[in-house]
Amino acid sequence: MVTKTIFEKSVKNRTGFSLANSKIKTDVKELIPDKLRRKKQPNLPEVSELDALRHYIEISAKNHFIEKGFYPLGSCTMKYNPQINEMVCTLPGFTHIHPMQPEASVQGALEIMYELQKDLANISGFSQVSLQPVAGAQGEFTGVNIIYNYHKSKSRDPKKIIMPDSSHGTNPATTTMHGFEVVEIKSTDEGKVDLEALKEVVDDDVAGFMLTNPNTLGVFETQVKEIADIIHSVGGLMYMDGANMNAILGYIRPGDMGFDITHFNLHKTFSTPHGGGGPGNGGVGVTAELEEFLPSPIISKKEGKYYLDYSAENSIGKVHSFFGNFAVMVKAYMYIKMLGEKGLKRVAENAVINSNYVMNQIKEYFPVPFHDDIMHEFVASGKNYREYGIKTLDIAKRLLDYGVHAPTIYFPLIVKEALMIEPTETEGKETLDGFIEAMKIISKEAKENPEELKKAPTKPPIARLDETEAIKNLDIKFDFNQEK
Amino acid sequence: MPFISNTEEQIRKMLQTIGVSSFKELLKNIPDELFVKNNLGLDAPLSEIEIAKKVTQLSKKNISTQENINFLGGGIYDHFIPAAVDYITSRPEFYSAYTPYQAEVSQGTLQFIYEFQTMICELTGMDAANASMYDGASAAAEALLMAKHYNRKKKFLIADTIHPLYKEVIKTYTSALDVEIVYIPQEDGQVNIEFIKDNIDKDVAAVLVQSPNFFGIIEDMKKIDPIVHKQRRTLLIAAVDPISLMLLNSPAEYNADIVVGEGQALGNHQNYGGPLFGFFASKKKFVRKMPGRIIGATHDTQDRRGYVMTLQTREQHIRRDKATSNICTNESLCALAATVYMVLLGKKGLRKVSEQCLQKSHYLFDKINNIDGFEPAFSAPFFKEFVVRSDFEVDLVLRNMFEKGYFAGIDLTPYGYDDHLLIAVTEKRTKAELDNFAKKLEEDTKKLYL
C-alpha cells in the first residue's frame, strides 16, 4: 500500500490551523523594505487537521517499533520505554520553560539535572558528569576534545588515537573530525584487543585509546586494565564508548576499569526512546583530574539552591546551544530513580542472560566466531548460507516477515556476513524462543528454498527497495512540477 | 522488578540451557578487581506512583511560560503549537522506533523525513536538505566544516552578529583544526559589509551570516552575495529563522550555498533548551558533502514507490574515518514535530504567524521606546526580536518584571552589551498583553528614577 505524499493531498485554501486575527494590522510593506521581502512563496501543503492526522497515522502504521515487536538491533539497545516517563516529561512545567529564565524559576529542572549528574557519576565510578552532549557521537566529540585540552594543558601535542578494528563507525569519524589521526589495531582470535599489536603502535604520540567494553562483538575485554596501563604509561587517556553499558550496569564501572572518560547513551542504557533516530543524550563522565575540562555549565548546588555553574576554568566550552536535551534527561532520571541499584543490576543480568541464551540456541545454525565472554549481545554469521546464494541481507529481510526487526547487519566488519543480535533485558523467554524458532526456520528455508528467501520480505507494507536506484536517480524532495 | 519480563523460574531454565549455574558464572573470566566493591550510592527505588508524584512536584517548582508572560527569545521561541503536533509525536510508532535501517518496516519514518526535507527546501529555496542536526549551533559548525572539505580552504569569516552560543559551539568544533576564524564586526546591529569586502580573499572557505541575526535584525544578504561569490569556490552560509522565511528573502534569492538554522520554532516545545533540532540544506552540487542522514525515494521489486536512506557512503557507519561528519543519532522526532506543524499551518497559516510576529514585535518596540529611559539600540529593520538600550540596570528591570509575572527579555550584558535588553514577541502575545507589559514596565522604571 503506497501512501501519497502530503503534497499530493493538498487542497487549495484548506487549513488545519486557527489563529485569532491580530488587532495590530500594520502593513508588512511598511515594516520590511521591498528588497528584503520574499518574492516566491514556499509551496507548503494545504490540508485540514483531520487530513494531516489521517496521513501521519497511516504512515506511522508502516513502522516497526518496540511496543509492536521484538527489536534485536545489535548495539542499539532497543529496550522497552516506560510509559510513565513519556507522560511526565510532557508536563507544562517541563515543556514550557525557556533556557534563559532566571534560575529561581527553574529549580525543579535544575534539581533533576543535578541528581542525574550525580546518579550517572555513581553508576560510572566517575567524579563528575556533563549532560550537555545530545548524542553518543557528540559525547565522543566532547571526550576527544577533553583529551585534546588535557594534553594541551600539559604542553603536549600528541596526534594519534588508537582504537580496535571492531569499533563503532562514530569512533574513527569523531577522531578525524576533531583533528586527530586514527590508528586501528587488529583484534585477536577471541575478538579482543591484541595487546602485542597495541604495544607495537604505542609511543609518545598517542593521545588516547577509544574502547567499547563490552566491545561491539559483545565480548568483554578482560584485559582492559592492562590496556589502560599501557596507554597511561605514555601519558595517554582511556575513553570508553558507553554504547554497551547496559551489560555492566551496577556490576562494573568504567571508572574502575581504568577509563578516564566515558559517554552515556541515555537513549540506549537508560530507556529513553530513540524517536526514529533521535533525540538522544550523550552525557560525558570523567575522573576528578579531568573535571575542569567538562563543557560548561554543569549544575551545582549551594545553600539549597541549584545553579548553572560556569566556574570550570579550563572548560572545553560548549557543544550545544544550551544545556543539552533536557526532556531526555527527565526520562533517564525517572528510570534510574525507579530502578535503584538493585534494578540496574537486574537489567545487566537479564541483558546478559538473554543474549547468552539466544546465542546458545542459534550458534549451531549461525556460527558465532567470537563466543567467549559474551555479554549483552553477540555477532553471528550468515556465511554458511553463501553456498546456497543467500546473504545476510536475505536473512535479515526474511526476519521482517516473522514480525521481528532485523539485527544490525554487516557490522562489525571483522565478522563475515555479520548479524549483531542484542535482545535486551526487557524481553521475556517466550519472545526469545520465538526468535530462535524463526532463525531455525530461516536456516532451513535458506537451504531448501533459497529463491523464495531472496524475495523476502513479503509481509511488510512494501517489498525490498532498490537502493541503487535511489542513488542513481536522486529524488530527495517532492517535485511540484511533476504533479501538474 | 519493573520492566523485566523473565521470572526467576525462567531465568533458572535459561541458565540451565546455557550450561551455567549462575549469572556470575557467565562473567567468570572478568577479573575480580573490576567488580563494584561497595554500593553505588543511589536512592532506594521508587514505585511508579511515587516517582510520578515526585517528578510532578518538581515540575511545579518551575515557573512556566504558561504562567508568566514570555518575551524570551535568543534562539528559542514561544510559538503556538497545535495539539495535533503533540498527538502525532507521542505515537510510539514514531517515538519508539530506531533509525530507519530496515526500510521495509520504517516507511512511516522515512516518508515523513522525505516530506520534511521537501518543506525545508521549499522554505529555504535550496535543492537538498538532510534529516536534521542536533541544533542550529552544531548545524552552523558543520556547515563550516563542510565548506572546508569542499574547497580545502582554511579561513572562515563569521558575522559577529550571529548568536553568541553559536560562536561558542563553532569554537569547540574547530578548536583542534588548522583553521582561522575572523569575526566581521557589527555596525548598527548589522555586519559591516565593507569589512567583508576588505578582508575576503582566495583563502576564505566560507562566510557565515545569520539573518535575522542575534539582535533580531535582518542582514542585507543580497549585498553580501556578490562579495562572497567573487572568490572562486568560497561559500556563503546563511543561518536563518524558519518562521521569518515566509516574509523575508529566501536564501536562494540571495544565492546562499548552505542554509542552516535552529528549527525549534517549528512546532517544538522550549523544553528548557532541548531537544532542539538543526536544519541543514544546500544547493544540489554540495549534497555529497553534506553531513547527516538523507532520505530518497525509490521503488520496490514490484515497482511501488518507497523511501530509503540514501547516499550513505558519506556517513560514519560506512565511511568511518573518511565520513563527512560523525553524526549518527540526530533529532528525528523534533523534525517530525516540525513536519506536522508546517503541514497543519500550511502556506497561509505559517505566513500569518510570520506576519503577526513582525507586526506585534514592532508594536511593542514603539511602545517601549516611548517610555522614558528606553531607546532603540539600532535602527536597522528587524523581524520578531529587537534590542532596546536602557538607562536602568537591565538586570534590575528584569528582576522587577519577573516579580510582576513577566519573563521580560534577555540581558545582553554577558554578551558585551551593557544596558541592552533583547525582547522577542511571537504571535502568541495579544495586544492587551503587550499594552499591559509596556504599562507595567513604565510604572516600574518610573520608580527607579525617584
Same domain, A33 and A157: no
Whether A265 maps to a domain, the answer reads yes
Query: A93 to chain B: which residues are within 8 Å by CB?
Result: 58-62, 64
Q: How many contacts (CB atoms, under 8 Å) link A and B? A: 684
Closest residue on chain B to A222 (Cα): B30
Same domain, A313 and A376: no
d(CA B295, CA B312): 10
Report chain B's mean pLDDT, rounded to a whole number: 97
Same domain, A150 and A279: yes
CA-atom Rg of chain A in angstroms: 25
pLDDT tens digits, one per residue of B347-387: 999 999 999 999 999 999 999 999 999 999 999 999 999 99
Same domain, A102 and A10: no
Residue B2 pLDDT: 81
Contacting B residues, span 335-374, partner chain A, CB-CB under 8 Å:
336, 340, 342-353, 355-356, 358-360, 362-363
Instruction: Mention every residue, 6+ apart, whose C-beta is less than 8 A from residue A252.
Output: B30, B34, B35, B36
Report chain A's mean pLDDT, rounded to a whole number: 97
User: Looking at A339, A373, A392, which one is the last position of a domain?
Assistant: A339
Average pLDDT score over residue span B333-360: 98
Domain B69-79+347-449 is in which class? alpha beta
pLDDT tens digits, one per residue of B209-251: 999 999 999 999 999 999 999 999 999 999 999 999 999 999 9
Look at residue B412 and tell me whether its pLDDT is greater than 70: yes
Taking CB atoms and an 8 Å limit, are A65 and B398 in contact across chains? no
Same domain, A110 and A173: yes
Look at residue B449 and tell me whether its pLDDT is greater than 90: no
Taking CB atoms and an 8 Å limit, are B118 and A477 in contact across chains? yes
Whether A333 maps to a domain, the answer reads yes
Same domain, A231 and A258: yes
Count of alpha carbons within 13 angstroms of residue B156, beta-carbon side: 26
pLDDT tens digits, one per residue of A6-42: 999 999 999 999 999 999 999 999 999 999 999 989 9
pLDDT tens digits, one per residue of A90-149: 999 999 999 999 999 999 999 999 999 999 999 999 999 999 999 999 999 999 999 999
Domain count, chain A: 3
Residue B450 pLDDT: 57
Same domain, A24 and A109: no
pLDDT tens digits, one per residue of B424-443: 999 999 999 999 999 999 99
pLDDT grade, residue A4 (50/70/90)?
very high
Taking CB atoms and an 8 Å limit, are B108 and A463 in contact across chains? no
Chain A touched by B38 (CB under 8 Å): no
Taking CB atoms and an 8 Å limit, are B43 and A406 in contact across chains? no
Q: CA of B411: how far to CAs of A104, B10, B158, B176, B394, in Å? A: 16, 60, 23, 32, 6
Whether A73 maps to a domain, the answer reads no
d(CA A281, CA A300): 20
8 Å CB contact between B169 and A319: yes
For chain A, report the end-to-end CA distance as a whole number of angstroms.
Answer: 23
d(CA A201, CA A186): 11
Whether A1 maps to a domain, the answer reads no
Look at residue A55 and tell me whether its pLDDT is greater than 90: yes
Same domain, A317 and A203: yes
d(CA B74, CA B76): 6
Look at residue A484 and tell me whether its pLDDT is greater than 50: no
Same domain, A152 and A246: yes
d(CA A326, CA A320): 12
Taking CB atoms and an 8 Å limit, are B296 and A470 in contact across chains? yes
SS3 for A7-47 is: HHHCCCCCCCCCCCCCCCCCCHHHHCCHHHECCCCCCCCCC
Q: Is the peptide bond prior to A214 cis by the omega test (within 30 degrees of 0)?
A: yes
Taking CB atoms and an 8 Å limit, are B88 and A60 in contact across chains? yes
What's at A419, amino acid-wise?
L
Residue A84, all three cell numbers:
510513565
d(CA B133, CA A412): 25
pLDDT tens digits, one per residue of A340-352: 999 999 999 999 9
User: Looking at A290, A314, A339, which one is the last position of a domain?
Assistant: A339
Whether A314 maps to a domain, the answer reads yes
Could you report the predicted ipTM of this complex, rounded to two decimals?
A: 0.97
Mutate to test the interface with A, among B12, B33, B43, B105 (most CBs of A within 10 A): B105
Residue-range definition of the domain harbouring residue A403:
348-469
d(CA B158, CA B166): 10
Whether A197 maps to a domain, the answer reads yes
Average pLDDT score over residue span A282-286: 98
CA-atom Rg of chain B in angstroms: 26
Q: CA of A372: how far to CAs of A327, A367, B127, B176, in Å? A: 39, 13, 50, 39
8 Å CB contact between A272 and A332: yes
Chain A touched by B433 (CB under 8 Å): no
Same domain, A244 and A359: no
Look at residue B256 and tell me whether its pLDDT is greater than 70: yes
Mutate to test the interface with B, among A100, A160, A248, A471 (most CBs of B within 10 A): A100
Nearest CA distance, A141 vs chain B (angstrom): 8
Instruction: Mention every residue, 6+ apart, whose C-beta is less than 8 A from residue A370.
Output: A190, A191, A217, A218, A219, A378, A379, A415
d(CA B447, CA B450): 5
Whether A90 maps to a domain, the answer reads yes
Closest residue on chain B to A39 (Cα): B249
Chain A touched by B84 (CB under 8 Å): yes
Taking CB atoms and an 8 Å limit, are B3 and A278 in contact across chains? no
Query: A344 to chain B: which residues are within 8 Å by CB?
Result: 40, 42
Nearest CA distance, B227 vs chain A (angstrom): 17
Q: CA of B152: how far to CAs of B38, B196, B205, B365, in Å? A: 53, 20, 7, 44
Residue B318 pLDDT: 87
Average pLDDT score over residue span A403-430: 97
Taking CB atoms and an 8 Å limit, are A340 and B220 in contact across chains? no
Taking CB atoms and an 8 Å limit, are B66 and A97 in contact across chains? no
Q: Which CATH number fits the domain B83-341, given the four candidates 3.60.20.10, 3.40.640.10, 3.30.413.10, 3.30.565.10?
A: 3.40.640.10
Look at residue A483 and tell me whether its pLDDT is greater than 90: no
Q: Is the peptide bond prior to A82 cis by the omega test (within 30 degrees of 0)?
A: no
Contacting B residues, span 183-202, partner chain A, CB-CB under 8 Å:
none
User: What DSSP state is assigned to residue B44?
Assistant: P
Same domain, A273 and A300: yes
Query: B403 to chain A: which residues are within 8 Å by CB?
Result: none
pLDDT tens digits, one per residue of B277-318: 999 999 999 999 999 999 999 999 999 999 999 999 888 888
- Domain definitions of chain B by residue range: 69-79+347-449, 83-341
Nearest CA distance, A447 vs chain B (angstrom): 23
Same domain, A299 and A247: yes
